[in-house]
A and B are shown apart, each in its own frame.
Chain A
Amino acid sequence: MASSVPDSSGLDSSGLGVRRAVGFVAPALVLIGIFLVFPALWTLYIGITNYQLTGPAAANPRVVGLDNVLEAVQDPLFTNSVWLTALFVLFSAVIGQNVLGFALAWLLRSASQWLRRTVEGLVLLSWILPSTVVAFLWFAVLSRDTGTLGLLLGSPETSWLVQYPMISLIIFNIWRGTAFSMLLYTSALAAVPPSQLETARLVGASGWQTVRDVVFPHIRGHVLTNTLLISLWTANDFTPFLLTSGGPNHQSEVLPVLIYRQALESGQLGYASAMSLLLLIGNLAVALVYLRLLRRRA
């Protein structure tokens, strides 16, 4: 398919020879094939059937074509879920984690060593703890009657996860994921030439002006990459299930939770697979937008 034939040194820079090179790559390709390509195709296929976990359609699934996809886009549960996912990504990742992560990285630059280490340690801790443990802790904080937050604010009758489910999830996810943005921005800020920061200081630029006119142009690529990654992670995050299970009454049912509940609680494997496909397409669209922005910069 290549339009021009490159010289052999260009094709085989390591000098392995094609056969040996293939031998080296093969195990990785097999793994990718088994654990990535096969499940993906499998999901695509199930998505065009009426396959179910139990009942007659489990024994004899039928191919229904695009019916599942058409049904999904008209399903109020699905549109509700898309909207909630968009809110979740926008507020917890694009705005929350990004801003807080950058703010921490920027402010800790000039902080004393021990303060920086302590804060970084705490922020990292919230990132590396297992989800189940974290969910349990947040349950203890947000539940009714004996929840820590309710006791602190003097309103123990408030059940935060039930009365403010999306806000709770958004704050939770900011807390949970800020560490990555903080780390990324910390190293990005190290790449800003100190001489430029010094010049900005000498000409009397305010903190915000410095960030906007000196720092940001240097780290724009990092911002985009970071936003892309955390958006995709958040859109696919299943932890909300551990906190609210999508409830109350679907008010916090982000897409991964909806898909799980449709597939395993309602047993509609085919329908849920079609929804997964739509989530995948959504993710690809978001990724494309970011990649275009990145390219425009270049």
Chain B
Amino acid sequence: MRRTKMFGLLAVCGLLAGCLGQTQGGDQARNADAKEITLTIVANAALGGKNARGANWLQNWVIPKFTEQQKAKGVTATIKFEQNGTGDEDFKTKVALDLKTGGGGDIIEIDGIWLGEFAQAGQIKPLDDVVGKTDWDGWNQIPKAVQGLGEFDGKRYGVPMGTDGRVLFFNKKLFAQAGLPADWQPKSWQDVLDAGAKLKALGVTPIQLNAGTAMGEATTMQGVLPALVGTGKPIYDNGKWQGDSSNVKDVLGLYQKIYGGGLGDPVLQQEANGRQRSFTLFSENKIGILLESDYFWRSVVEPKNGVAKMADRDAAVGWALVPAKTSGAGVGGQDFVSMSGGGVRVINPNTQYPKQAWEFMQFLNSAEAVKESLAGTAQLTQRQDVNDQVLSGDPMLSFIAEKVLPITRYRPGLANYPKVSAALQQATADVVSGKSPDDVARAYREAVVKAVGEENVG
């Protein structure tokens, strides 16, 4: 009796072991000649909500057009758009769970920085493996640096959706009241802090530099990393992650000056919806300076579709390059710095229609479609030909293209990056809650060592 029980248990465990991990693969030519196809595109965008413009484009332009195009070829195509409107981390979890269980849409829009871990998990595969031949004239239009967003380990996994750059946005109305110039351009961190001190007298929150774990990657990308490259060394340098280096301590010291010195709102950083609230507060003229990507200009304070509309955006919102700690102290000896990222569209290796999914992908990235997706606004798209046409009409976006992209840096596309990023977020949370930068830097180092191994920490 007891023995059978043991055997039963062992058998179950064996079965379970077989289920962990995954091995998938399929014939690239499966259903290549299907007359009826169904494709689903998944994006963190929702009609009337997050990234409304992209959602509207997919629903009302892409789907009808592509369906029509397929019909002309005698194929009945049903294209579905799975909408999401949630925080980036939650969206990532959802996509990872979808892919892990063999489900998910056929084309998925993800943040380029997740590519490495999805690829290493085998949840996405190189485009060549999924669809076979990926010759496409569009590749010539996508700059090399931008193509890199869709690559991992030297292999191409997806088609990038454009890129962005980070600057300091400021409220010109508040600046005028505080006696600061409308064409403000700080030359050092101290200049920013000085401006903050003047704004403080107005009774508004002077500076919003994202901090804490609640904001997730927004803390790393719009806070720690732009500051860190301003100290002269990126987070991943010469094959090692930065530990409790003097650079990291400088950055944590900056956080302490802002949040310990009354120049920022520590509570806001810890609220569950802090980032969205910071947008709202900026649009209500209650925040003076805010570090963000051009996304802020395009989709947040944008007067018509933004999530925190500012009717007088063009007159009220100014921007300046992010200064290095001091002139010339930035990475590569630069005076000014930035960080960039961008989304990538990948094809689910489990798709029923690999050939058609690739066709759909080409359609999504055609010059016509990309231009249409802008709906008359400007954005740094993946395509040079489109950028040449649209950027000149928008002073902010042409500023990004001309002044920011030449000095920007990208995050290391490694699977360990999200763990280091999480440790950085935790470190800023600790500083904001009042701990000393030195103690926090030590704890941060321990966390990174635990995450990536002692030998990989500089």
Residues A162 and B122 in contact in the complex (CB < 8 Å), given A54-B114, A245-B214: no
Q: Is A162 in contact with B271, judged by CB distance below 8 angstroms?
A: yes
Q: Is B100 in contact with A58, judged by CB distance below 8 angstroms?
A: yes
Q: At the interface, yes or no: B323 with Cβ under 8 Å from chain A?
A: no
Chain A residues in contact with chain B, CB under 8 A?
A: 1, 38, 41-42, 45-46, 49, 51-56, 58-61, 144, 159, 161-163, 244-245, 247-249, 264-267
Q: Is B16 in contact with A41, judged by CB distance below 8 angstroms?
A: yes
Partner of B21, one of A38, A41, A59: A59
Q: Enumerate chain B residues within 8 angstroms of A162, measured Cβ to Cβ.
A: 267, 270-271
Q: Is B430 in contact with A249, judged by CB distance below 8 angstroms?
A: yes
Whole-angstrom distance from the CB of B280 to the nearest CB of chain A?
10
A56 to B22, CA, bound (A): 11
Q: Is B270 in contact with A249, judged by CB distance below 8 angstroms?
A: yes
Q: Enumerate chain A residues within 8 angstroms of B20, measured Cβ to Cβ.
A: 46, 49, 51, 61
* Given A46-B20, A54-B117, A58-B120, 12 other A-B residues pairs in contact with their CB atoms under 8 A: A41-B13, A51-B20, A53-B100, A54-B121, A54-B415, A61-B20, A159-B271, A162-B270, A247-B214, A248-B429, A248-B433, A266-B422
Partner of B121, one of A45, A56, A249: A56
Whole-angstrom distance from the CB of B323 to the nearest CB of chain A?
29
Q: Enumerate chain B residues within 8 angstroms of A56, measured Cβ to Cβ.
A: 120-121, 415
The closest CB in chain B to the CB of A270 belongs to B20
Q: Is B16 in contact with A267, judged by CB distance below 8 angstroms?
A: no
Whole-angstrom distance from the CB of B440 to the nearest CB of chain A?
12
The closest CB in chain A to the CB of B20 belongs to A61
Q: Is B121 in contact with A265, judged by CB distance below 8 angstroms?
A: no
Q: At the interface, yes or no: B369 with Cβ under 8 Å from chain A?
A: no
Q: Enumerate chain A residues within 8 angstroms of B238, measured Cβ to Cβ.
A: none
Whole-angstrom distance from the CB of B58 to the nearest CB of chain A?
25
- Which B26-55 residues sit within 8 Å CB-CB of chain A? none
**Which of A49, A51, A54, A245: most chain B CB closer than 10 A?**
A54
Whole-angstrom distance from the CB of B417 to the nearest CB of chain A?
10
The closest CB in chain A to the CB of B12 belongs to A41
Residues A53 and B97 in contact in the complex (CB < 8 Å), given A161-B272, A249-B212: yes
Q: At the interface, yes or no: B81 with Cβ under 8 Å from chain A?
A: no
Partner of A247, one of B17, B270, B419: B270
Whole-angstrom distance from the CB of B119 to the nearest CB of chain A?
9
A1 to B212, CA, bound (A): 59
A109 to B212, CA, bound (A): 50
A54 to B12, CA, bound (A): 25
Q: Enumerate chain B residues within 8 angstroms of A245, measured Cβ to Cβ.
A: 214, 272
The closest CB in chain A to the CB of B414 belongs to A55
Q: Enumerate chain B residues within 8 angstroms of A46, measured Cβ to Cβ.
A: 20
Closest 3 CB pairs of A and B: A248-B270, A58-B121, A54-B117
Q: Is B120 in contact with A55, judged by CB distance below 8 angstroms?
A: yes
The closest CB in chain A to the CB of B419 belongs to A266
Q: Enumerate chain A residues within 8 angstroms of B312, measured Cβ to Cβ.
A: none
Residues A60 and B96 in contact in the complex (CB < 8 Å), given A161-B272, A247-B270, A249-B433: no
Q: Is A159 in contact with B267, judged by CB distance below 8 angstroms?
A: yes
Whole-angstrom distance from the CB of A141 to the nearest CB of chain B?
15
A1 to B16, CA, bound (A): 30
Q: Enumerate chain B residues within 8 angstroms of A61, measured Cβ to Cβ.
A: 20-21
Partner of A1, one of B1, B93, B96: B1
The 8 A CB mask of B202-246 against A (1 = contact, 0 = none) is 000000000011100000000000000000000000000000000
A11 to B17, CA, bound (A): 40
The closest CB in chain A to the CB of B94 belongs to A264
Whole-angstrom distance from the CB of B320 to the nearest CB of chain A?
29
Residues A265 and B270 in contact in the complex (CB < 8 Å), given A41-B12, A56-B121: no
Residues A58 and B123 in contact in the complex (CB < 8 Å), given A53-B100, A159-B271: yes
Q: At the interface, yes or no: B295 with Cβ under 8 Å from chain A?
A: no
A85 to B305, CA, bound (A): 43
Q: At the interface, yes or no: B89 with Cβ under 8 Å from chain A?
A: yes
Q: At the interface, yes or no: B118 with Cβ under 8 Å from chain A?
A: yes
Can you give 11 contacting A-B residue pairs, CB < 8 Å? A41-B13, A53-B96, A56-B121, A58-B122, A161-B271, A162-B271, A245-B272, A247-B272, A248-B214, A249-B213, A266-B419
Q: Is B271 in contact with A144, judged by CB distance below 8 angstroms?
A: yes
Q: Is A45 in contact with B114, judged by CB distance below 8 angstroms?
A: no
Q: Is A53 in contact with B93, judged by CB distance below 8 angstroms?
A: yes
Q: Is A265 in contact with B93, judged by CB distance below 8 angstroms?
A: yes
A145 to B117, CA, bound (A): 40
The closest CB in chain B to the CB of A158 belongs to B267
The 8 A CB mask of B257-278 against A (1 = contact, 0 = none) is 0000000000100111000000
The closest CB in chain B to the CB of A143 belongs to B271
Q: Is B271 in contact with A45, judged by CB distance below 8 angstroms?
A: no
Whole-angstrom distance from the CB of B414 to the nearest CB of chain A?
10
Whole-angstrom distance from the CB of B86 to the nearest CB of chain A?
13
Residues A163 and B267 in contact in the complex (CB < 8 Å), given A247-B213, A247-B214: yes
Q: Enumerate chain A residues within 8 angstroms of B97, measured Cβ to Cβ.
A: 53, 264
Q: Is A59 in contact with B122, judged by CB distance below 8 angstroms?
A: yes
Q: Enumerate chain A residues within 8 angstroms of B122, measured Cβ to Cβ.
A: 58-59
A247 to B16, CA, bound (A): 34
A49 to B18, CA, bound (A): 13
Whole-angstrom distance from the CB of A274 to the nearest CB of chain B?
15
Residues A42 and B93 in contact in the complex (CB < 8 Å), given A162-B271, A249-B212, A249-B429: no
A8 to B125, CA, bound (A): 64
The closest CB in chain A to the CB of B429 belongs to A249
Q: Is B17 in contact with A45, judged by CB distance below 8 angstroms?
A: yes
Q: Is B22 in contact with A59, judged by CB distance below 8 angstroms?
A: yes
Q: Is B118 in contact with A54, judged by CB distance below 8 angstroms?
A: yes
**Which of B1, B123, B213, B272: most chain A CB closer than 10 A?**
B272
The closest CB in chain B to the CB of A159 belongs to B267
The closest CB in chain B to the CB of A41 belongs to B12
- Which B341-388 residues sit within 8 Å CB-CB of chain A? none
A156 to B71, CA, bound (A): 59
Whole-angstrom distance from the CB of A242 to the nearest CB of chain B?
9
Whole-angstrom distance from the CB of A77 to the nearest CB of chain B?
10
**Which of A45, A55, A266: most chain B CB closer than 10 A?**
A55
The closest CB in chain A to the CB of B415 belongs to A55
The closest CB in chain A to the CB of B277 belongs to A144
Whole-angstrom distance from the CB of A85 to the nearest CB of chain B?
20
Q: Is A267 in contact with B96, judged by CB distance below 8 angstroms?
A: yes
